[in-house]
Amino acid sequence: MPNSANHSQRLHRLDQLRKPMVTRAILLLVGFCLFLIGLHAWSLWASRQHQLEQTAISTANMARALASQAEASIKIGDAALAEIVERAEHDGVEGAAGERLHARLQAIARHTPELQEAFVYGADGTRIASSLPQLVRGNNADREYFIYHKTHPGRGLRIGKPIRSRSSGIIAIPLSRRIDRPDGSFGGVAMASLKLDFFGKFYNSFDVGPTGTILLMLDDGTLLYRRPFAESMVGTSIAGGPVYQLYRKSGPVGTALLVSNIDKIERLYSYRHLDGFPLIVASALTKDEILAGWWIAVIKMSCVVAFAVCVLAWGGKRMVYQIRVREAMEGELRSARAVLEQHNVSLRVLADSDGLTGLANRRLFEATLEREVGRARRAGTPFALILTDVDVFKKYNDRYGHVAGDECLRQVAGAIARGARRPADLAARYGGEEFALILPDTDLEGAMAVAELIREAVYGLQIPHADSPFGRVTLSLGVAAGYPPGGPEQAPDAWVQAADALLYEAKSAGRNRVAGRSGSLADAA
């Protein structure tokens, strides 16, 4: 029984120390799923940023190529203008020199695909020479580029705002230079116009997607060309637009995600200012088109991750269920074990107790007697044994019946049990109407006092007994007390024999009394 109690206490301590497995399993699964989802989200975000960075590199390279093309076209036009100005200032523009200049302008326009037209204007704005097959007279003194050169003595190239040709009706970008007389006064203007269509064909060779765009503008915000092309937008100002504002803020080169003021589409723009010329080129790819492939990868990978999370959740649910079943079974087993142990205790009590009186039975009495005698021998302490039976009990049964006799024995047993006041004391039914009381660490005087108390208690019950000389149920008691010998061990039955001899001595002396003796077992017997 102590081992069983210790085992139960150990199980209880383990239950207290053990963390809840279900909670830990759920937290572990949830944590792993969140980690998997977080890792997936981080991977998607990193791939998105990588896609945008790679596209930014592509648009920046595209802007560099556009700038190189525009710069080359302007340099070609500028070289042609420089030659025209040199001829006009050196050879003049009258007579044969004018005819040669006219022929040269036609040759330049014919062999330079970038150029739309070329003209030479006099100081009053009159057309002197042109690249057209026939010289059509006209006056362009009201043109912005003419007024600029007339009022500015500078000899550099002037890139003007787009104009519509009065001879062909085509919109073009004017390039112009001032012509001076020998005295340095204003002598006229040489002008060559760049084809917008030339830029359009070149820009269309770049794959910017269905909604991508390419821009060419002056550095004051005047739009020269925009893909997709809309003639109505040529010459308008986009100085309030996001690209120009980014240029004003970040300098000659930049890349950023911006929303267009024209169509409200978000694009990744890269722009570049031309070296030495007041022009800005920009290329842009739509954000949705850039990330279209990325979104497909997101959907595919998210489906895989979602499937993995679902499998983990399903497996985790099954595992948690199994853990709960296991814990429930363990709980039931522990409960069953506790019930079984309780039953064992009850069976042990039943096995060690007398069914009628509830006192210890003879088997437990004999085991306790052997143990306590041995302990007293080893410790050198006194030991006492009381043996008693009900006086003339057979006649009681004959007169009152066995049922009344059993009730009488139960009352007598209760009085004897009250005499065993200490935990080590043991009251037992020895057999029939005989009872015994083991008193460890008790001398004769103490044992006699206990025996007398028991005798008086039974006498005080006043159980009627017509066949007894006392008219009630009484007890006779024999008390054997002393020190177990330290020599060769003697059978514990010797104490029973000694107490039994003293019991018969009490009966022979008239019953309802106590007979006791202390000393060796031989003297007691």
Would you list the DSSP string of 422-466? Answer: STT-EEEEEETTEEEEEEET--HHHHHHHHHHHHHHHHHH--B-T
The pLDDT of residue 448: 94
- CATH code at position 190: 3.30.450.20
The pLDDT of residue 15: 60
Q: Using alpha carbons, select from 370, 426, 383 the residue that is nearest to residue 520.
A: 383
Element housing 386 (H / E): strand 383-390
Residue 173 lies in a domain: yes
Tell me, rounded to whole angstroms, the distance of Cα 415 from its chain centroid.
71
The residue range of the domain holding 503 is 353-524
Cβ 88 vs Cβ 105: under 8 Å: no
Residues 189, 178: Cα–Cα separation, whole Å: 5
Residue 60 lies in a domain: no
Name the one residue in this structure whose structure tokens are 């306790």: 368
- Residues sharing a CB contact under 8 Å with residue 487, sequence separation 6 or more, in sequence order: none
The pLDDT of residue 131: 85
**Of 166, 197, 228, which residue sits at a domain end?**
197
Residue 232 lies in a domain: no
**Of 197, 230, 247, which residue sits at a domain end?**
197
Count of C-beta atoms within a 10 Å radius of residue 310? 11
**Of 179, 197, 215, which residue sits at a domain end?**
197
The pLDDT of residue 1: 46
The pLDDT of residue 340: 80
What does DSSP assign to residue 382? -
Residues 285, 55: Cα–Cα separation, whole Å: 8
Q: Using alpha carbons, select from 202, 179, 175 the residue that is nearest to residue 109.
A: 175
- CATH code at position 486: 3.30.70.270
- pTM exceeds cut of 0.85: no
What's the chain's Rg over C-alpha atoms?
62
Residue 117 lies in a domain: yes
Per-residue pLDDT of the chain (525 residues), as tens digits, is 455 556 566 656 656 555 566 777 788 888 888 888 899 899 989 998 998 899 899 999 999 999 999 999 999 989 999 999 998 888 887 777 878 888 888 888 888 888 888 999 999 998 888 888 776 677 888 999 999 999 999 889 999 999 888 877 888 999 999 999 888 899 999 999 998 888 888 888 888 888 899 999 999 999 999 988 888 888 899 999 999 999 999 999 999 999 988 889 999 999 999 988 999 999 999 988 888 888 898 898 889 988 988 888 888 888 878 877 877 787 788 788 877 877 776 666 666 788 888 888 888 899 999 999 989 988 889 999 999 999 999 999 999 999 999 999 999 999 999 888 888 899 999 988 999 999 999 999 999 999 999 999 999 999 999 999 999 999 999 999 998 876 555 677 889 999 999 999 999 999 999 999 876 543 444
Residue 525 one-letter amino acid: A
The pLDDT of residue 346: 61
Residue 292 lies in a domain: no
Residue 107 lies in a domain: yes
Name the one residue in this structure whose structure tokens are 């009966």: 507
For residue 410, give the 3-state DSSP assignment. helix
The pLDDT of residue 4: 54
Count of C-beta atoms within a 10 Å radius of residue 243? 24
Element housing 187 (H / E): strand 186-195
Residue 369 lies in a domain: yes
Total domain count for the chain? 2
Residues 362, 422: Cα–Cα separation, whole Å: 20
The pLDDT of residue 522: 37
- Residues sharing a CB contact under 8 Å with residue 315, sequence separation 6 or more, in sequence order: none
The pLDDT of residue 116: 87
Q: Where are the alpha helices (DSSP H) in 92-224?
A: 95-111, 144-151, 196-204
Residue 159 lies in a domain: yes
